[in-house]
């Protein structure tokens, strides 16, 4: 009887250890924010679909003061994600083999958040989904809409 109790305790301990390891792996993420619309999530390069953010070297001007709006867009994304888990819904791959996806934190679209904050644009060439968010930011002169700027696609073409 005593030997059977030891075996039972050992088996239960092993199962608890395995459960804890699996639970921690499911909860943790390897996340790196590359720029305002690109992240690396668990080894996968993800480009947010339907939006475009300024390039990291791209500047905007407000009242004669230069703002590195590309870095600001990245910082907005980092701040929004914080320590939260990012979940993405894939929409395939682009020509650079990046996963195209809409990503969420606490069920809020990061793309919608960036566009509504004025540090991303609805990429109308590929999607109409975020146009209302862009209209809101533009009407309220939020983020880049309060500055002189170049659209990211124009900046890339000229630089």
The CATH code of the domain that includes 62 is 2.40.50.90
The answer to whether residue 15 sits within a structural domain is no
pLDDT at 28: 73
The answer to whether residue 142 sits within a structural domain is yes
- pTM of the full structure: 0.81
The answer to whether residue 65 sits within a structural domain is yes
| Mean pLDDT, rounded, for 50-69 | 97
Contact between 150 and 158 under an 8 Å Cβ cutoff? The reply is yes
Contact between 104 and 86 under an 8 Å Cβ cutoff? The reply is yes
pLDDT at 24: 42
Number of domains in the chain: 1
Paired tokens of 19: 């459960």
The answer to whether residue 21 sits within a structural domain is no
CA distance 109 to 62: 28
Task: Express each pLDDT in 107-142 by its tens digit.
Answer: 999 999 999 999 999 999 999 999 999 999 999 999
Enclosing domain of residue 120: 30-148
Paired tokens of 83: 């320590």
Which stretches within the chain are classed as H helix?
2-27, 69-81, 110-116, 131-139, 152-158
The answer to whether residue 40 sits within a structural domain is yes
């Amino acid at each position: 009887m005593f030997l059977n109790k030891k075996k039972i305790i050992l088996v239960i301990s092993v199962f608890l250890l395995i459960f804890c390891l699996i639970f921690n792996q499911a909860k943790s993420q390897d996340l790196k924010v590359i720029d305002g619309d690109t992240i690396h999530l668990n080894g996968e390069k993800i480009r947010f679909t339907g939006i475009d953010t300024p390039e990291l070297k791209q500047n905007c001007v407000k009242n004669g003061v230069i703002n590195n709006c590309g870095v600001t867009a990245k910082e907005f994304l980092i701040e929004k994600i914080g320590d939260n888990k990012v979940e993405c819904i894939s929409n395939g791959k682009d020509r650079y083999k990046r996963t195209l996806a809409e990503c969420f934190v606490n069920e809020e679209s990061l793309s919608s958040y960036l566009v509504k904050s004025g540090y991303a644009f609805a990429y109308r060439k590929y999607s109409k989904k975020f146009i209302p968010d862009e209209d809101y930011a533009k009407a309220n002169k939020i983020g880049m809409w309060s500055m002189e700027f170049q659209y990211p696609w124009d900046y890339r073409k000229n630089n």
